[in-house]
Amino acid sequence: MIRLNVPSFAAAFGAMWSVFMLYAGLAATADAGTSFVVEAIAPVYPGFGPTMIGSVAGAAWGFLDGAIKGAILAVVYNGIADLDD
């Protein structure tokens, strides 16, 4: 089975989550109906809110959080892939 490159997967997952958090914050700033996402995640990411600076803070926290979760996901996947060999 194909193995994942853990650092690359973690960086890609972090970048994807970072873009999502930036979009969610900016969309909430424009009152595009995504304020519930910001309200749900704001207690977890300090500084995240429906403002330009809050969106950037959310993107930074999102990259860190996404990279950690992406690395965990890749390690678990590789562990399962090794069982197949």
pTM equals 0.87
Tens-digit pLDDT profile for the chain (85 aa)? 899 999 999 999 999 999 999 999 999 888 877 688 888 999 999 999 999 999 999 999 999 999 999 999 999 999 999 887 6
Give pLDDT, residue 85.
65
Residue whose C-alpha is closest to residue 71's, from 2, 26, 5, 3: 5
Give pLDDT, residue 52.
93
Give pLDDT, residue 69.
98
